[in-house]
C-alpha cells in the first residue's frame, strides 16, 4: 500500500475541494491519503479582507521534513498570474534541506490547479509545480488520456495531460464539476498505483 500526501494551497476552496477528490481516488484504489495545506503567508488582515477560507478538517503540513515520510505527493495550487501561488512557492523555498539530502528523489508526484478563466494559465501553473518537483527528483505522473473525459468541448471542463484542473470563474462562483472531480480522482489513483509499483 502506498502512502500519498495531498499537499495544497487554496484561498477560496476550489483547490481544497479538488484535494478531497484526489484523496478519494487514492483511498478508493486501496492506498493511504493524507491531506495537508501549506502555511498562509498573507497578513491576517489581508486574508480576512479578501475572504480567504481555511478548511478545519485538513491540517497544516507539519514542516518540510514531513514530506520525506510519503511514497508520493500530489500538489495542488491555484494560479497566480500564470504560475503557482507564492504561498506554495514559499513552502518549497523552505525545503532546501530535503533537496540537499535528496530526500524526495524517486518519489512519485502529480499536480492539480485552478484558474478563474479557461485559458488563464492552467498549463503554465501545472508546469511551475512540475518544474519545482523535478528539481527534487520526483517522478511525474500526469493526467493521462486514460481519463477520456478530458477530451471533448461539450461542456466547460478542466483537465490536461499535465494534471487535473478546475475553472472557478472570475467571481469564484463555478465549483469543480463532476468531470473536474473525476479527473482529480483519476490523478490520485494513478499517482498511488505508480508509487506502489515503483516501491514493489
Ligand atoms: C493575485 C491573483 C492572481 C490571479 N491570477 C490569475 C490568472 O493569472 N489567471 C486566472 O485565470 N485566474 C487568476 N486568479 C484567480 C485564481 O486563480 C482563482 O481565485 C483560484 O483558481 C480559485 O482557487 P481557490 O478557490 O482554491 O483559491 C488570480 C487570483 C489572484 C488573487
Q: Is 13 exposed, middle or buried (0-12, 13-18, 19+ CB in 10 A)?
A: middle
Q: Whose CA is nearest to atom 31 of ligand 1?
A: 80
Q: CA 143, 144, 147, 150 torsion: positive or negative?
A: positive
Distance 102 CA to ligand 1 centre (A): 32
CB of residue 31 inside a 6 A radius of ligand 1: no
Q: Is 58 annotated as a binding residue?
A: no
- Strands (E) located in 59-107: 59-60, 72-80, 83-84
Q: Is 173 annotated as a binding residue?
A: no
Q: Evaluate whether 52 touches 40 at the Cβ level (below 8 Å).
A: yes
Structural domains present in the chain:
3-199 (3.40.50.360)
- Report pLDDT for 6: 98
pLDDT, residue 87, reads 98
pLDDT along the chain (200 residues), means of 10: 98 98 98 98 96 94 97 98 98 98 98 98 98 98 98 97 98 98 98 94
- CB of 53 closer than 6 A to ligand 1? no
Q: Does the annotation list 15 as a binding residue?
A: yes
Q: What is the pLDDT of residue 149?
A: 98
Amino acid at each position: 500500500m502506498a502512502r500519498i500526501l495531498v499537499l495544497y494551497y487554496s484561498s477560496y476552496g476550489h483547490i481544497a475541494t479538488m484535494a478531497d477528490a484526489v484523496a478519494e481516488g487514492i483511498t478508493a484504489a486501496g492506498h493511504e491519503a493524507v491531506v495537508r495545506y501549506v502555511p498562509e503567508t498573507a497578513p491576517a488582515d489581508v486574508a480576512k479582507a479578501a475572504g480567504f477560507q481555511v478548511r478545519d478538517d485538513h491540517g497544516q503540513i507539519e514542516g518540510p521534513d514531513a514530506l520525506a515520510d510519503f511514497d508520493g505527493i500530489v500538489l495542488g495550487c491555484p494560479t497566480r498570474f500564470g504560475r503557482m501561488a507564492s504561498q506554495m512557492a514559499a513552502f518549497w523555498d523552505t525545503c532546501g534541506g530535503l533537496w540537499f539530502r535528496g530526500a524526495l528523489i524517486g518519489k512519485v508526484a502529480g499536480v492539480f490547479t485552478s484558474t478563474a478563466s479557461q485559458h488563464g494559465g492552467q498549463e503554465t501553473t501545472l508546469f511551475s509545480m512540475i518544474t519545482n518537483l523535478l528539481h527534487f527528483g520526483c517522478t511525474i505522473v500526469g493526467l493521462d488520456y486514460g481519463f477520456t473525459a478530458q477530451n471533448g468541448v461539450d461542456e466547460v471542463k478542466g483537465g490536461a495531460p499535465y494534471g487535473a484542473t478546475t475553472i472557478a470563474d472570475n467571481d469564484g462562483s463555478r465549483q469543480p464539476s463532476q468531470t473536474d472531480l473525476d479527473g482529480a480522482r483519476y490523478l490520485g489513483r494513478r499517482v498511488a498505483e505508480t508509487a506502489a509499483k515503483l516501491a514493489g
